[in-house]
Amino acid sequence: MSQIDTLPPLRQVIVTHGLAPKKSLGQNFLLDLNLTSKIARLAGDLTACDVLEIGPGPGGLTRGLLAEGARRVLAIEKDDRCIPALAQVADAYPGRLQVLNADALDVDPLAHLTPPIRVAANLPYNVGTELLVRWLTPKDWPPFWTSLTLMFQREVANRIVAKPGSKTYGRLAILSQWRADPHIVMELPPEAFSPAPKVHSAVVHLTALPAPRFPADPAILERVVAKAFNQRRKMLRAALKGLTPDIEDRLIAAGIKPTDRAEQVPLEGFCALARQLA
């Protein structure tokens, strides 16, 4: 265990505060502070940024973020058993850590943080995708965050960076690549966590682009993409026929063959189609 701070090792924190992992909260903890510091470094230069962390648990990544110099960290944790452990971290870094005992889905980060804001989290798998989609689909762009550094199941990470023609290309790839630049920056085996999950994990770093790669209305793009990939084996003229009676003409006007399937259409094509349907 590395000495990144003067706080007790995480295994000891877990015993002291009775943090037996709960499956219902997606609790697979990272207990190696070398690893959590490495993830914090992958988030970029934190010294001039506020950081939003979702699901700090016993505080491994939180300590990494603070040791790497984050200006301020807002850590939102649903499990009230973790709050006393996180209060000790806050004491060790006076004025730099604010802990909220809340559901991350209910909190407006801008009420607590000052831009520039980076998001870093070993996300609870059950809410991870929902939060990512929410962060990628605000009406206005650029969003409140400059980067997201997020742990996912490796299979989800692959879907985020997938390219057209691949089986994993779909809604997550399009939403992630339309207004951000996503990369897998680290892979972790199950044994990196306690308890070990059944699957491999990966950290994805997404940088917000200053403007979308192609113009489109986010709500329309989301609706078109969801419908197209819902029936990914069907030709688009069939999969999208509920959107408008003249879908074939709209597809052609967007430069897409009506007989193509969703996974063959690049991001630019979906944006052109969203504009046709606006």
| Residues engaged in binding ligand SAM (CB under 6 A) | 25-30, 54-57, 60-61, 76-79, 82, 103-105, 122, 124, 127
Q: Smallest distance, Å, CB 60 to ligand SAM?
A: 4
The one-letter code for the residue type at 204 is V
- Compare residues 56 and 218 and give the one whose CB is closer to ligand SAM: 56
Instruction: Give the max Cα distance, the chain.
Output: 66
Residue nearest to ligand SAM (CB): 55
Q: Smallest distance, Å, CB 201 to ligand SAM?
A: 9
Q: Smallest distance, Å, CB 145 to ligand SAM?
A: 17
d(CA 58, CA 69): 19
Q: C-alpha angle 107/60/143, rounded to 5°?
A: 35
Q: Smallest distance, Å, CB 251 to ligand SAM?
A: 39
- Compare residues 85 and 247 and give the one whose CB is closer to ligand SAM: 85
- Compare residues 147 and 153 and give the one whose CB is closer to ligand SAM: 153
Q: Smallest distance, Å, CB 228 to ligand SAM?
A: 29
d(CA 117, CA 33): 23
For residue 115, cis peptide bond before it (omega within 30 degrees of 0): no
Does residue 193 contact residue 30 with C-beta atoms inside 8 Å? yes
Q: What is the CA radius of gyration of the chain?
A: 21
Tokens of 102: 């809340």
- Compare residues 76 and 256 and give the one whose CB is closer to ligand SAM: 76
Tokens of 114: 């000052």
- Compare residues 26 and 269 and give the one whose CB is closer to ligand SAM: 26
